[in-house]
Structure 1
Amino acid sequence: MADHSKKDIQEWWAQNPMTYGETHGQASYKDGTFEIGTREFFDRIDKEFYSWNQPLHDKKPFDRLFPYDHYREKKVLEIGCGLGTMLMNWARNGAECTGVDLNPTSIEQSKKRFELHGLTADIRLEDANYLPFDDNQFDYVWSWGVLHHSPNLELSIKELFRVLKPGGGFGIMLYSRESLYQWYMTDYTEGFLHREAKFLSPLELNSRYGDGHREEGNPHTWPVTQKEGLNLLYPFSQDASVKVLGTDLDCVLRLMLPGISSYIPKPIIKSLARRWGWSLWFNGTKDV
């Protein structure tokens, strides 16, 4: 298995921040290229990110996942804040926000975003394995698509629960190793058809063809199964549960079944998404 240092991971993500652009790390989209750090840039990446996750929005972005009203004026922490889209929405809904990330580009750009929007948050360059906060400090902690890039997921989970208050809520999105995306895009297309599995370990294969696959992949990506994720959470949360988010299914089916996927009835796609989606949303409360 590949063994990349935190420095490797930090440097890669600093050079390739999650912009949701046509090329990973760049601010180029179908409607043009934007200058990173401008209001127009942040508005454009938000538009893209929201469109990827449309089923998770009702009246507000991601309000089908996040209980904003319950944590108004309470302390919330995002582990891996990226360029600040989700943290901004919590701040707009009245939470006392803290965001951490291993990537200095993310910290710089998230601070710019909050300044441009006239919002406040404590945004810091930190390692999820060693959070600089007191025990039981936050009312709600979440992480979105980040911790599967950590070489020590178990330690990150322990730290998340250490800083979360007893009875506090949490949400963690991790990639699914049992997804249609994993099976078709990584294991079948790259691992089998392109014979990459002969040369790469499972970890190397997932890292190479995970985020940034057009740029030779990122240093570390290891999706989990539902059982693995819940086993990590149960020592801290007896009500931990998992929901499969299949917002990727339309794209995967278009690649698998070009010209045919558009005729698949929506109820069937939704059913597939609930079982074989790429994103797992683990949530619950910390034991009292």
Structure 2
Amino acid sequence: MRPAAPRSSFACQQLAWLLSLLLLSGLLGGCASSQRLKDVRAFAATAPKLSGYTELSQRYRDTYQRELPYLTAAAAGREKALDAERRAAYPDLVAIHQAVVAYLRALGALADGDQFNYGDQIKDFSAGIKAWPDTGLTDRHVNAVANLARVIARAATNREQDQAVQQLLRDGYEPLHDALDAMHTVLRYYDRQHDNEQGIVLGMLDVEIPFSERPPERLLAALAKAHRQDKANEYRLLGLRHTLAANQVRDLAAWHETLYRGLGAPTAPVRAATSSLAPTTIAAAALVQGAQP
């Protein structure tokens, strides 16, 4: 009969087993951390896709200049008043985009192990914006921008890379969701304004072109018809750009939701703005590629 192993040998085996478990746990944790940082860097790199929002914001701001040649004197007076409102709202509407991009840049910098210099990034949008009810921009959206500024500033004080990224994802979850909702709401408003402008311009051409079709004015009629065709194509492509921009905002919200839930965070209500990539996104991207009306 073999003698029992000394207790010291058994204790050493237990210690080795525990150390192996700790090492394996550390390796698995390190792999999870590495993958999370990789995913966050990829997520942050999507920031340029939101540029469509700023381009459409600029187009919204300049609506009056495009409409003016097609307006009657009375209509021009009404649109002039609206032009002042558009130009006053424009800086606040663009500040939402600036806040979202600053958040993405902060995440990307932290995931790269860099110290994010947030000072210059948040000055422009953290000074305070106001609600514009006509556009759908509410106090909730305004507060989201202010909250994003706060969580970005706080994240810069965290020295541990993975923990800093996790904390920023947690702290930024609600304000980013509301900021993206603001962008989506404003884009819907831009789309309605686009439809209104299209009705004004094409409506005027449809009314006036028949009067230019008398034989002495055939050249004028031909030019007017060609112009109408160009404008109709311009508005069609712009409609696709509106769809593309809205879907890109929705896709970004869905990705952020996935990253947040990957932290093992408490279950949050499913967000309406986090639908998967819509087929219209691909179709719109293909049609507007290279077309800049």
TM range (shorter): under 0.3
Q: Which has the larger share of strand? A: 1
TM-score, normalised to structure 1's length? 0.24
Q: Whose radius of gyration is greater, 1 or 2?
A: 2
Q: Which has the larger share of helix? A: 2
TM-score, normalised to structure 2's length? 0.24
